[in-house]
Amino acid sequence: MIDTTNGGLNTTEMYFFTVLEARSPRSKSCQDCFLELLKVMRTIDDRIVHELNTTVPTASFAGKIDASQTCKQLYESLMEAHTSRDRFIKNCIAQTSSVVKHLREEREKNLDDLTLLKQLRKEQTKLKWMQSELNVEEVVNDRSWKVFNERCRIHFKPPKNE
């Protein structure tokens, strides 16, 4: 079962966890579904150009659609998505760090257990991979904000505190 108690998950995150749990009959940890969940959670960033092209009007159609409201809604959606993903990645890193810590402690007690050593190395690799996803997340977010700002800067000004 995915741990949804940490980090005060919002409605969007709970939806993603529910979808993933419904797809798999077996119980999953955060580590087992990490990539699949990130893929689902990054959908808004993957489709931002299309979303902006279909919702923010060009100059010739400017009077027919409220671009400021559309940009505001997209801004709020992006903020929620980025916050959710950041929280999810950090939650998974914390869970995996805890597993690595536990395996290290077990390894210190039993230095001859090769199976334990393999498991520790496997978990350490997962942890490094999850930590690298924070860098990927930064790139994805930067790209989305660049595209958003190019199309919405004249229609919507984000609050200064964010």
Indicate whether this model's pTM tops 0.85. Answer: no
For residue 52, pLDDT beyond 90: no
**Which pLDDT belongs to residue 79?**
94
d(CA 20, CA 2): 9
d(CA 4, CA 49): 31
Which residues, 6 or more positions from 151, have their beta carbon under 8 angstroms from its beta carbon?
52, 56, 71
pLDDT band of residue 31 (cuts 50, 70, 90) is: low
Q: For residue 110, how many C-alpha atoms fall within 13 Å in the half-sphere facing its CB?
A: 10
